[in-house]
Chain A
Amino acid sequence: MTSTGMEVLIERSKWRQEAVALLVKDLKAELRTKVAISAVGVFTFASLLLLGLATAVLKGVPTVTITRLPDVIGLQYLIEQLHPAWDSPSKMGLLWVLFCFAAFAGLAHSFVHEEETGTVTVLRLSMSAEAVYVGKLLFNLIVLLVVMATVTPVYMAMTGMSAGYAPAFLLVMLSGGIGLAATATVIGALAAKAQGTGALYGALGLPLLLVFLMLLLNAANTVYIVNAPMLRIVKDVGGLFSFGVLIITMSVMLFHFIWEE
């Protein structure tokens, strides 16, 4: 084996330590300044209040969906078909719209910050591109999960959203967090390189998240089905999870094109 080959091997085995080092550095900086957490957190809480106010009137509005016409439409039948218009899946959908906006308002910081302070060159010299991506992804994921863990219970208390089937609910939240953090991280790196403003970040990221939100709504519907078959839960939550996995795979493969000059 040539010496360069050995070096490449050593480089490859080092990336995990490098990623963890970057994560620790970001977390330490975050604990000192609390920029990302407070930006995403305040944004989410403020929009939560806006949402709560706007949807307060919806609480008592019932709706009827008739999937097939019965032989005789009686009052009893209609009462059975009544369900609230503002039900748990739609509440979940709005909560995630909120998370998407919050992520794209706050998570750009992690790369833009490095560009602004000029530390980006040091970072580029001292570790591989993959390590930078994984470190930043983990940091963003942790910030997002902390915000989600504090905001979701408040949202549930405020709007009366139920958890449905709890394990599936947690899995949906977790896979959703992974998908969102993965997209926000790679697009954040792209937008920072384009020296784009926040508008560019949103314009690049949100179209990618439309499909993600469709998968999420599909999984959210399954969570609230009483006694849903396990196959359906695995299929729908797995479908949501696969989005994050695919974005991460693509990002790891392509990140050095963004990162290296």
Chain B
Amino acid sequence: MAIAARGPSTADVVRQHLQGRRIDYKGALFQAAILVALLLSLVILFVLISQVVRGGIEVFQERGFDFLRGRLTVVSASIAGVGQGIAGSLLLMAFVVLAAFPAGIGAAVYLQEYAPDTKLNRFVNVNIRNLAGVPSIVYGILGLVIFVQVLGPLTGGKTVMAGGLTLAVLVLPIVILTTMEALRAVPGSIREAGFGVGATRWEVIRSHVLPAAAPGILTGTVLSISRAIGETAPLLLVGATTGLLATGGSGFFESLRGGYTALPVIVYRWTSLPNEDFRALTSAAIIVLLLLTLSTNAIAIILRNRYERKW
């Protein structure tokens, strides 16, 4: 006490030392730079959407739902529409749901729950990761050779069935990987509890692991649908350009073996036209396409955030 009383008080000295440099300019600059990087990505998204909406909104104002029913044509802009594209995209999705989801979830369950840790199974794992990174146009070649040519007698050639199966194979690795991740997140203690009361592996998986992993699996499958709706390149190789969806008296199953088109393919074809009339139509088609892909994407994100849980 006596010492402190003579000079400046201890508290003053300490305060002076603790003040340091007031402002970290470099740090603030750095933070600003990375914030700009993030915001720029968001601004681009905003510009993109506003650009497309500005370009395409008049089509909806003038023609309303007529545009949604219109035909695929590159000749007359006034009657052109995306009706066939919507129908084609929905049919393609049906194939993805029916073919890729069971196969993908099944493969994931095997690899995550059953497969012993052998060299072969590790190879299969790596293989699936690599499949997820194969460019989509390469899947188009696979579809062309396997589903159009080799399985031609079954699919009928460049048909909606060939296109749907191609997209199903394309999203298969995504479905497998996201499902495996969801299964991995289920704690082992739940499995042990199931085995502990005398359940078989399948009983444990069906009653406890799959229900616990369901939100994650759902997120993955919805994401893969979003991806499939937007895919264009592989469809160009398996005949989506042939246009008309065969409808009429031949029945539903026959129409699966007919020609088709899809929304993104329509966007691509109209984009390549020099005719200015089609600019607005392209924007309008993109609005429909974005509504489909972004809303499915948003659903997946919301699902994931809602059910994200810590065990």
Tell whether A and B belong to one assembly.
Answer: no
Give me the interface of A with B, judged by CB distance under 8 Å.
none
Give me the interface of B with A, judged by CB distance under 8 Å.
none
